[in-house]
Amino acid sequence: MNHQGVSGANQPWRSVSESRLRVRYAETDQMGVVYHANHFIWFEIGRVDLMRQLGFSYRDLERDHGCFIPVVDARCRYKAPARYDDEIIVRTHLRNVRESVIHFGYELVRADNNELLRKRDHAYDPRFKNEARAVAENLPKGVPPRHREVGS
């Protein structure tokens, strides 16, 4: 898998991470179509790449801040199948960070024709207010206040 970050020029809160991967045989069903649960693994790849692009990582949040962020809502809209050996781009962006929830948005597109395969929103519930604050405080300085709404 090849993970490439693409930054939003001068507006880091609009950054979009693009992670490229190729569908492996083990990720497909008998018909050669990607099993739906594998999309969630690919979204995690995109999320981790976006966080690194923004200057921090899950590992650091967990180790340095005791921040563990469980998924509380995951929605995926299936538009077209991904098949064995397709090259896929996972596009990930940060929607917002609030006291009670962190939202990421995702798209899966076929690399050769940019066809939208999946669209998804993902929400996380920081277990403690300080965890959301740790994420918000580590976002780049240019991120507008609406993306940093955390309680005091």
- Three-state SS for 56? coil
Token match 């996972």: residue? 90
Strands 87-97 and 16-22: antiparallel
Question: Which is nearest to 7 in space by CA: 17, 141, 107, 55?
Answer: 17
Known catalytic membership, residue 29: yes
Catalytic-labelled residue, pool 29, 64, 73, 85: 29
DSSP string of 62-117, one letter each residue = HHHH-----EEEEEEEE-S--BTT-EEEEEEEEEEEBSS-EEEEEEEEETTT--EE
135 contact partners, CB below 8 Å, separation of at least 6: 56, 61, 67, 69, 97, 102, 126
Measured distance CA(8)–CA(12) in Å, rounded? 5
* Residues acting as catalytic residues: 29
